[in-house]
């Protein structure tokens, strides 16, 4: 199977009441770990790269590795630009072979966001590429996206309807209380997602796929592993799993972005491996261990959070 856009896989997720995992990637081992994880349960997946990825590797390499994985495993894999900030950047990723792009105009005024998002939709749709927009501001830090908590605000459902109708966007990332990064909430702050906002959005734009960014649960096993083996991640706190599971199964949410848990798993596993094997210096050894950890995170998310109901036969 070749790389697909997100139109049909998000439609199916909405219809059948589950969410597709969207995982950020930067190199081969992460891609392979994610694909191995979704292959275990025969699920679709969205692989994401950001503007910062260009500083790490050639994005054409990402496209080619993803293409090979999609053909080898026979899975529907979408390749998505995460948090694109300009029409020019979206064009660059589309020309490289990405099948879906996000244009994040949430830092602009409502009117400017509509105009920017529409310009990307007008361009991308001519190439069969789907577009994700964003309305509202999600707090936290992810790559070069930084929003202080006091500058975050919830998505207005009425504006969401107007935004979708006037841009032609294919999916919409909303702000309902999630947050980017490993430190999503202050020490004494209780996580809370505004399901009432989701319900109102679904009422106003029925059948339209909604996206949650900043929706990592920040799995304690990996932050604890990092701390045990020489790192320092104190007070990491994510979205409770039961809230994410509810969002996946009972609302219009069709795509959940998981980034932090993957990074924690890679970092923790490499630290652990090198600590336990101090004489090893072959990157293939500790990166192979990290790849397995990524696969385990993905399988955990599929079975415990994303609510995928049609996995078919589990591959061994």
Terminal alpha carbon distance of the chain:
20
CA separation for the pair 230, 233 (Å, rounded): 10
CB 70 within 8 A of CB 32: no
CA separation for the pair 88, 116 (Å, rounded): 11
Rg (CA), the chain: 19
Place of tokens 């009425």: 158
CB 203 within 8 A of CB 242: no
For residue 19, what are its two tokens? 């969410």
Number of helices (H), then strands (E), in the chain: 12, 11
Which of 265, 270, 267, 273 lies closest to 297, judged by CA?
Answer: 265
Place of tokens 């969002």: 247
CA angle 103, 263, 31 (to 5 degrees): 70
Residue 90: C-alpha distances to residues 26, 106, 174, 222 (Å): 18, 16, 20, 33
Is residue 122 annotated as a catalytic residue, yes or no?
no
User: Which one of the listed residues 12, 82, 126, 282 is annotated catalytic?
Assistant: 82
E strand spans, 208-313: 210-212, 253-258
3-state secondary structure of 235: coil
Residue 301: C-alpha distances to residues 85, 166, 211, 242, 257 (Å): 28, 34, 16, 12, 11
Q: Which residues are catalytic?
A: 82
């Amino acid at each position: 199977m070749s790389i697909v856009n997100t139109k049909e896989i998000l439609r199916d997720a909405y219809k059948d009441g589950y969410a597709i995992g969207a995982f950020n990637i930067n190199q081969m081992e992460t891609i392979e770990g994610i694909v191995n994880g979704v292959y275990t349960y025969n699920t679709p997946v969205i692989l994401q790269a950001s503007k910062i990825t260009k500083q790490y590797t050639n994005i054409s390499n990402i496209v080619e590795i993803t293409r090979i994985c999609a053909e080898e495993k026979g899975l529907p894999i979408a390749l998505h630009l995460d948090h694109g900030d300009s029409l020019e950047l979206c064009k660059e990723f589309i020309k490289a072979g990405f099948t879906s792009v996000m244009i994040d105009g949430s830092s602009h005024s409502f009117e400017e966001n509509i105009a920017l998002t529409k310009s990307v939709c007008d361009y991308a749709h001519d190439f069969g590429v789907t577009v994700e927009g964003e309305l509202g501001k999600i707090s936290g830090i992810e790559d070069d996206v930084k929003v202080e908590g006091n500058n975050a605000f919830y998505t207005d459902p009425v504006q969401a309807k107007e935004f979708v109708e006037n841009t032609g966007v294919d999916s919409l990332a909303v702000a309902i209380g999630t947050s980017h990064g490993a430190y999503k909430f202050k020490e004494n702050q209780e996580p809370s997602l505004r399901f009432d906002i989701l319900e109102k959005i679904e009422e106003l734009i029925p059948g339209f796929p909604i996206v949650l960014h900043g929706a990592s649960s920040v799995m304690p096993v990996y932050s604890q592993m990092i701390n045990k083996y020489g790192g320092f991640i104190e007070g990491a706190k994510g979205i409770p799993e039961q809230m994410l599971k509810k969002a996946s199964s009972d609302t219009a949410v069709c795509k959940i972005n998981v980034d932090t848990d993957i990074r924690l798993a890679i970092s923790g596993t490499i630290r652990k491996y090198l600590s336990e094997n101090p004489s090893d210096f072959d990157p293939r050894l500790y990166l192979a261990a990290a790849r397995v950890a990524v696969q385990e995170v993905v399988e955990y998310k599929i079975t415990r959070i994303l609510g995928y109901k049609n996995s078919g036969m589990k591959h061994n």
